[in-house]
Structures are given as C-alpha cells and as structure tokens.
Chain A
Amino acid sequence: MSANTSTAPYYFVPGPSKYPLLAGGALFLFGLGMSTWVNGYAPGPLAVLAGVVSFLAVLYFWFGEAIAESEGGLYGQRVDYSFRWSMGWFIFSEVMFFAAFFGALFYARAIAMPWLADIDHKSVLWPDFLPQWPHAGPGNGVEAFEKMGPFPIPTINTLLLLTSGVTLTISHHALIANDRAKTIFWLAATIVLGAVFMGFQVYEYMHAYQELNLKLSSGIYGSTFFLLTGFHGFHVTMGAIMLTVVLVRLMKGHFTAKQHFAFEGAAWYWHFVDVVWLGLYVVVYWM
C-alpha cells in the first residue's frame, strides 16, 4: 500500500496515547536498575532487563502505530517536513554528544598531558612522568599496555563503512527509480556491511583486552579509546536497527518513490555515524 497524501489532514495530530507514559515507566525501571546494579545490589540487573524489554516493547507498538498512520495516508507534506527538521536537529544533538568525548580526548592530550609534565608538576608531584601519547597517567597504577594502531582492523572498518555509505546511496536511488528489488538488495548489503563492521569491532576489543592488555581502566588512553569507539559502536548498532526496520517495511511494500522519509532519516543517521567514524579513525587511531 502506498501513502496517499492527497487526503491527509492539514496537519495530523495523533489522538491520546498510553505509550509515552509506559515508556517513561520503563526508563524509570532502567534508571533505578542501573543505579542499583552498579552498586552491586542483586535485583539491579533484573530491573534493567525489565526496563529495557518493556521500553523496546513500547517502542515496537508505538512505531507500529506511527507506521500505520503513515501508511494510512495521514502524514501530509507538512508532517513530512516536520520529520525532516526533527531528524536533522536530533542528529545535531548527537554530534554534540560526541563532541563532549572528542573534547575530553583533545583536552587530555593537548592540555592535561603537557601540564602534568611541566616543571612544577615534576618537582612537586610527578617526577618521572613522560608526556608521550599514549599514556596512562603519571600514577603508575596501570599495567603496561600497547596502543591500538590503525592497521589492519580500523582501516578495514573504515573501508566497510565507506562502502556501506555507497551501497546505501545506490539503494536510495533505486527507491527513487521505483526499483524495489534493487532497493532491498542494496539496503540489505548495507546492513550486512554494518554487521561485519560490528563483528570486527568486537574482535578488536577482544584483541585489545587479550593481546594488548588495553582495557577500559588503562588510564586516560583506555578511557577515551573505549568510550569513543564504544559509543560509536552503539550508534552503529542503532543505525543498523533503524535500517533493518526500513528493510522490513520495504519488503512489506511500504514507501513510495516520492515519500519515504523513514528511509531517508535512517540514511542520514547512517551517514552521520559514518562521519563520526572518520573522525575517530583519524583522531583515535592515527594521531
């Protein structure tokens, strides 16, 4: 079925919904569970599980309803604009989230490191600190570890993500040309590339822990390395989930050549994740 916008209301306003309240409750469970879990209280993990599962369940129904509205032709041109603006600004807020972590890396390297090694710090606190990146701080509390270089995995991963950007664009063009089979094929290829990327990422973490002795607790280097790559990986996963939903919808026959914002939104997100990776690749692995 295709979205027919000619009958859409001037601006569609959904009726009352219980989902927001339920989702809020789920996040409450999640927050409470996480707080108790990290402090070692037994019911914590259970509450987290309950929170996450119920949150996902609510999202499932919520999005299901939204999709039905969309396919029911209720979303006119204006709603479509709204989605575009909102996705754009949402991605901007994500950029700022990553900026905090990139900022931390920048600060640690360009400001804190030379500071810790200046003459005052040498004479008063840290006589033998060498300001060389990577380091795990002057405190000697960290076991020796090795830096994660750009070869081979990160470079392979870069190629994977870049390719996935291309396949996604091919898919998009196919959708515009109304070639469904081609759209589905290339979108699936994109998701596969994303999954392979994640596989390599997991492998890289294992390599870090087992062979390089590089851990989350390996001082500031480990902290920034794992949080930056970890949050990126999390975002890749989210992007892949979005693309998968789009894929399923494509297979169900949703979207038209003209109106397919969900596809585009997910694609923007994917490109954003791509760009963040390029930043990581240069700043974390090469510099």
Chain B
Amino acid sequence: VENSPGGPAVNQLNLHPPVTQIAADIHGLHWMMLIICTVIFVLVFGVMFYSIFKHRRSKGAQSANFHESVTVEIIWTVIPFLIVIGMAIPATKTVVAMKDTSNADLTIKATGYQWKWGYDYLKGEGEGIGFLSALATPRNQIDAQSAEDVKARQENTNYLIEVDNPLVVPVGKKIRIVTTANDVIHAWMVPAFGVKQDAIPGFVRDTWFKAEKVGEYRGQCAELCGKDHAFMPIVVKVVSAEDYTKWVDAKKKELAAQADDPSKTYTVDELKARGEKVYNANCAACHQATGKGVAGAFPALDGDAVVLGEKAKQIDVLLNGQGNGKMPAWKQLNDVELAAVATYTRQAWGNAGKGKDPVVQPADFTAARK
C-alpha cells in the first residue's frame, strides 16, 4: 500500500501534516511536550542508571544513610510545578482558539447515525443541501473470503476511509461543524484539521476549521457506537471557491430532481421497491436484511406484532422511536421514504399478505407528524 493522501501514511509516526492553523498549533504543542518530556526522562533516568551502575554492591558500594532533606524535597516539588505551568500556558492559548466558533462562513450539521454520517448545510453558500455519507469500501474486501478480495483490499489505498458522498467545503473559509446524533454517541474526527467532536444524541455541539489547502482529508468515527463503529469514515473534500460554487449548483439540481412528492399516492410496487432501498440503507444494520433481527439485541420484524398490526402504531414508532432510544426516531427521513419502508416491512419476508394495513401512504406520515 501507499500513503493515503489526506489520510494516514504508511507507518506514520506522528500527527498528520496540519492543514489548519489549529492542527499546526497542536503539532507544535506535541513537539514541545515530546522534547520537554524526553529531556526530563533523560535527566531522571541518567541519574538513575548512573546510580544503578555506580552504587551496586558488586562494585563494593556501601550504603549511605541519609533519608531526608527538606531543601531537596522543596526543590523537586517546585521545579516540576514550574515546568507544568510552562506547558500549560501555550496549551491555554490553543484551547481558547479552538473553542471560538463564532463568525463562521458556512455552518454544516453533521449527524451521526448507526453507521453513517448525515450532512446538512445550515447556513452560508449551499444552504439547504443535505445528504448521507456512508462507507464506500465494498463489504467483500472487509470479509475477504477469497484471495481476490484480499488482493483488492491490499491494493486499496483508502480501505475503510472512503465514502460515497464526501462532505464538500470551500478552501480558506471558516467552516463551523455542528454535531449531533440520532441514536448513540459518535465522534466526528478529521486529524488533518485537528478536529474531533463528539456527536451526542439530543444535543448539539460545535467545532470549526479553516482548511488552508485544497484536497481530500480523511477521518473516522472516534466514539464506540456499536458493531460498525469501524465502518463509518469521514471524508472532507476541500475545493476552491469556484469549484465549490459549481458543486453547490450541481448538488442542488440533483436534489431537486430526486425530490419526493409526499402528496402523491404511490402504487404498492413503487413503495415496495423504494422501501427495500430505504430498509437496506437504514434498518438492515440492526433488524437484518432477512428481517430476523439479532436475538437478544434487535427484534425481528418478520412476524412482528407491530409490523403486522394497525399502521398507526408503526408510524408512531418510526417517527418517535421506542424503548428510550433503543429504536431511534427516524423523523429525518421524508414521508415518502417512511411510507415506503413501512410498506416494505409489511410486505416482505413472511409478512406478505398477513397483517392489517398492508400499504402505508406518505399522507399517513404527513398527518401523523402534525
């Protein structure tokens, strides 16, 4: 393998080459700490090993019998204290700078889902854009059952650090990232920017960066979030101002073309086909593509009473979640997607033809949201 541009280098020994001022400051702080600590280490253990070699019995050393000295003890309490203060001062400056998220040019919300990221451009150029960003590495490279797969993995420079839809931001602009999560805590990290911020369900936090170089930068989810914690990377594409404007235009057009019409009544087949996609993208991770769930952890939907019962209950569960967030709320999906996935679960596996209300229309969700 080669180094991943914007991601880790092969056998990298230190922090990533910084792309923001903050990351550069951190880099500097780390070097400072390394040097101070190494010097202390060498001094302290220099003394210890000197003593170990000189004051051993086999060299005829006789033990002295001093065992107290207030002066010496005061000295070696005060000096470390001063050293520590010396370390804290520059760190304080960086902390203050890191926390200043005011006056951003662009505000983007990053939402952690099990196990992907959602991005919504809240303020600034591109406002209104929103999309999901999931791992792009094929599963067979991860599971690698055949020699071919193994080879593909070995040749994949960006193995596990590539996504389908990267976050795109302009260079040289202050980007404020607002993090939150849908289910459990995740953390949004991009080492090259010196950014890592937990995404906490039900709360928002923020962080910021101002990338100084065009390029693609890679990070990974940095808070244990369940089974696919290792499989929800972050890729940020930093582009020039012009390219950014172009991207915004293109993305807006693309989104408009895809827009769903929640007032329309869809056919069962339309809903089923769309629902299967929604299901596999959002629900299969827990309830499994087979609808069988995982015993003891995630309930089966195949034959589930709620799925086979009146639609109102299922609509409520989908919109508001259940069991204190064990089943997260899915309000962020639009009504068409929700109706499609509800219909799909009612028609898939052994459920077909069994329960009440086999079809759910977007209008049902629109009504339930009110």
Question: A residues within 8 Å of B by Cβ?
Answer: 39, 115-116, 120-121, 124-125, 138-139, 141
Contacts and interface: CB of A to CB of B under 8 A. Distances in A.
A271 to B, nearest CB: 37
A39 B206 CA distance: 38
B178 A120 contact: yes
Contact of B204 (A39, A120, A139): A120
B320 A124 contact: no
Contacts of B206: 120
A124 B182 CA distance: 13
B122 A125 contact: no
Contacts of A125: 180, 202-204
Contacts of A141: 320
Q: Which 4 A-B pairs have the closest CB atoms?
A: A120-B204, A124-B204, A121-B204, A141-B320
Contacts of A115: 203
A190 B296 CA distance: 48
B186 interface: no
B109 interface: yes
17 contacts: A39-B296, A115-B203, A116-B203, A120-B204, A121-B204, A124-B109, A124-B122, A124-B178, A124-B180, A124-B204, A125-B180, A125-B202, A125-B203, A138-B202, A139-B202, A139-B320, A141-B320
Interface string B171-206: 000000010100000000000000000000011101
B129 to A, nearest CB: 16
Nearest to A121: B204
Contacts of A39: 296
Chain B interface size, as a band, is 10 to 19
Contacts of B178: 120, 124
Given A120-B204, A124-B122, 12 more contacts: A116-B202, A116-B203, A120-B206, A121-B203, A121-B204, A124-B109, A124-B180, A125-B203, A138-B202, A139-B202, A139-B320, A141-B320
Contacts, number: 22
A120 B320 CA distance: 21
Contacts of B180: 124-125
A39 B180 CA distance: 30
Nearest to B179: A124
Contacts of B202: 116, 125, 138-139
A116 B200 CA distance: 12
A266 B182 CA distance: 49
A116 B203 CA distance: 7
A225 B90 CA distance: 45
A115 B202 CA distance: 11
A38 to B, nearest CB: 13
A114 B184 CA distance: 22
Contacts of A120: 178, 204, 206
Nearest to A217: B324
Interface string B314-350: 0000001000000000000000000000000000000
Of A115, A125, A138, the most chain B CB neighbours within 10 A belong to A125
A138 B329 CA distance: 14
Contacts of B204: 120-121, 124-125
B297 to A, nearest CB: 11
B263 to A, nearest CB: 24
A125 B109 CA distance: 11
A62 B202 CA distance: 50
Contacts of A138: 202
Q: Looking at B122, B180, B204, which has the most chain A CB atoms within 10 Å of its CB?
A: B204
A71 to B, nearest CB: 50
Contacts of A121: 203-204
A127 to B, nearest CB: 13
Contacts of A124: 109, 122, 178, 180, 204
A141 B180 CA distance: 19
Nearest to B322: A141
Nearest to A126: B202
Contacts of A116: 202-203
B244 to A, nearest CB: 23
Nearest to A124: B204
Interface in B116-149: 122
Nearest to A141: B320
B130 to A, nearest CB: 13
- Interface core residue of A39, A116, A120, A138 (most chain B CB under 10 Å): A120
A120 B203 CA distance: 9
A125 B122 CA distance: 12
A268 B113 CA distance: 51
A219 to B, nearest CB: 11
A149 to B, nearest CB: 28
Nearest to A138: B202
A60 B295 CA distance: 41
A115 B206 CA distance: 13
A124 B320 CA distance: 17
A63 B19 CA distance: 69
A217 to B, nearest CB: 9
A7 B180 CA distance: 70
Nearest to A120: B204
Interface in B206-246: 206
A24 to B, nearest CB: 27
Contacts of B203: 115-116, 121, 125
Nearest to A137: B202
A208 B162 CA distance: 54
A138 B296 CA distance: 30
Nearest to A112: B203
Nearest to B316: A141
Interface string B82-114: 000000000000000000000000000100000
